[in-house]
Structure 1
């Protein structure tokens, strides 16, 4: 009788552990955690299509990527009970109100930056960048940088002296960075020209937008011109719902705006863009659009143009016929910004030379877009930093990096996306592994005890 009771109890324990292991396997690990700046996109990979054309004077890059709903607004000012409040802009993951613009960015190098052709944007990610888990919030953004600009490549605050940085820049130790923004540059047909070196910054000159807010007065500087737009402000509900679109006057610029009128009877929900768009100046104005881009049939289709030789070799990578270059892309979609984007591995670009992306020589001023797109897979990178990748204690493949093995030889984009998620949840995954191990050991013990009791009973019978 006692043995029967033991057998029944062990079988019950075995069954209970089996059910518990099945019910808890893989659960409670990957989840959004705002307190740690973690928000995992629903799709870990996506697609970007690229075409390139040049005529000896200008070069054109055309980008196409899927977006279910275009985000044409960024941060806005909303009137509420006598005050103008900021909404939108930076957000943790996707902005549910679609008040974060879509973007595409491209890094370019001519072979001057060591390791970029093998590891792309990974080399620009130091420890403790803004929005990383555990990074304290400060007024100064901790941006991307090149390892060569630090005395300790793994430490953000060890920036080299100004004289050293000037020598590095003269030697080509910088990455050319092009950006297009659906709200803060697109409506007036502009791109934005920047760089990554000791920081991620804009080229010399002024950018395509400025802040439309007077802090002392606590009000916007400009509003919509009612003679042009038919209104002084939009309505926040219509902005969030997507009712305001390309055919409406939805941005502020010289042709759509007038100085703000504080005497007007403003109503709750009145909405004015927090950015005023303007012409760029200096080297920052080198990247432009042939015309404002529009979203059609589920895709953004964006073209940027630049002089092949801008005359600014300390700001821009100079394109030459017969030249070879390395490029890497970033796509911001579903109203996401900061590190919640999709990136690509580096790809080779050839102007008359065989490469992964082959630029097509065209008639003067007429980019030739015939021929197929180059498909580029992009992926969510998570919080994977260059110091982590080069540390054998944290990354088993660090020895491969030391041997300069390109990342594309070892990993697919899907694998890299999963690795990015694993890094964000490393503690939870380890805890889950220990829990699963404990369950497995318990199952083995319970199963063994059940078998032992069963065989004993048969022998006595």
Structure 2
């Protein structure tokens, strides 16, 4: 599968080859394996760095991959793919939003993030309707780690607690920074606090690795979930329309987007 850069972004007119495989077990799970080249592992996500007496956010984001499955028929999605929901009429990128045209159209969004979801073994489960893209019920959204003036980190790892994932801050394992004088040049503190996944948002398990300039990501979910309204329900007797977007250390508007794809069960 070839993903092409979205119009107007830094990947415009560029192409990325993404390898995709899917397997399922009857009455069990569907597993989707995605692999693509990436020369750098985007894993810092605006980390705070202390230097020369002040804190600065590093200019970095994270690598991501998203899959949009059609739940309720989205007009032209089968022939045009994600382009029909990537509405970008507004001149200001901040006003762009991802949504369907009508309330009768709905998609199931799986979003894997290298920094804010993968360390906890999940991809975020969400959906897209005629208003915007939303998260399923539950927890899993990362939170910004910053003071009210947004000039430095507010929390650090609580030394009295064993971290769930070394090098990352996880909700419930942090302590507020009271004494900033203890930090020295070069010290780095994460600018995001990860939230443990629960509820419908936790439906998608993830396992990923970056090696030799390549990401390999495995996403797995039950064929039938408990949320029929916001999750695609897989039936081996049917085909399913989908689109895939890959984000290379970039923001939500800068991605490689696939042509329309179809999953056929054998």
Q: TM-score range by the shorter chain?
A: 0.7 to 0.9
Per-residue Cα deviation, 1:77-107 (whole angstroms, up to 9, x for no partner): 233565544333xxxxxxxxxx211111111
Instruction: Tell whether 2:201 aligns with 1:284.
Output: yes
CA–CA separation in structure 2 for the residues paired with 1:43 and 1:73: 27
TM superposition shift of 1:183: 0.6
Query: Rg: which structure is higher?
Result: 1
Report the more deviating stretch, 41-50 or 76-85. 76-85
Q: Secondary structure at the match of 2:97?
A: coil
The alpha-carbon distance between structure 1 residues 206 and 228, as it changes in their structure 2 partners (threshold 3 A), is closer
- Tell me the residue number matched to 2:227: 312
Structure 1 residue runs of 5 or longer lacking an equivalent are 1-36, 89-98, 149-164, 230-247, 353-461
Q: 1:3-402 to 2 correspondence within 5 Å?
A: 40-41=10-11, 44-55=14-25, 56-80=27-51, 83-88=54-59, 99-110=60-71, 112-129=73-90, 134-135=91-92, 141-148=95-102, 165=103, 168=104, 173-197=105-129, 198-215=131-148, 219-224=152-157, 249-253=166-170, 257-263=173-179, 264-289=181-206, 291=207, 293-333=208-248, 335-352=249-266
The alpha-carbon distance between structure 1 residues 331 and 218, as it changes in their structure 2 partners (threshold 3 A), is closer
TM superposition shift of 1:220: 2.8
RMSD: 2.9
Per-residue Cα deviation, 1:399-446 (whole angstroms, up to 9, x for no partner): xxxxxxxxxxxxxxxxxxxxxxxxxxxxxxxxxxxxxxxxxxxxxxxx
With the length of structure 1 as denominator, give the TM-score of the two structures. Answer: 0.51
Report the more deviating stretch, 187-196 or 274-283. 274-283
Structure 2 residue runs of 5 or longer lacking an equivalent are 1-6
Does the CA contact (< 8 Å) of 1:190 and 1:208 recur in 2? no
- Tell me the residue number matched to 1:91: none
Q: Secondary structure at the match of 2:170?
A: coil
CA–CA separation in structure 1 for the residues paired with 2:199 and 2:38: 32
Structure with bigger helix share is 1
Does the CA contact (< 8 Å) of 1:54 and 1:60 recur in 2? yes
Structure with bigger strand share is 2
Does the CA contact (< 8 Å) of 1:111 and 1:325 recur in 2? no
Does the CA contact (< 8 Å) of 2:88 and 2:97 recur in 1? no
The alpha-carbon distance between structure 1 residues 50 and 77, as it changes in their structure 2 partners (threshold 3 A), is same
CA–CA separation in structure 1 for the residues paired with 2:154 and 2:106: 36
CA–CA separation in structure 1 for the residues paired with 2:182 and 2:44: 24
TM superposition shift of 1:216: 6.4
The alpha-carbon distance between structure 1 residues 76 and 260, as it changes in their structure 2 partners (threshold 3 A), is same
The alpha-carbon distance between structure 1 residues 272 and 189, as it changes in their structure 2 partners (threshold 3 A), is same
Does the CA contact (< 8 Å) of 2:72 and 2:107 recur in 1? no
Does the CA contact (< 8 Å) of 1:73 and 1:101 recur in 2? yes
Q: 1:387-426 to 2 correspondence within 5 Å?
A: none
Report the more deviating stretch, 107-116 or 212-221. 212-221
CA–CA separation in structure 2 for the residues paired with 1:79 and 1:262: 16
Provide the aligned length of Structure 1 versus Structure 2.
256
TM superposition shift of 1:46: 1.0
CA–CA separation in structure 2 for the residues paired with 1:68 and 1:223: 30
CA–CA separation in structure 2 for the residues paired with 1:251 and 1:222: 12
Dislocated runs of 4+, deviation >6 Å? none
TM superposition shift of 1:324: 0.9
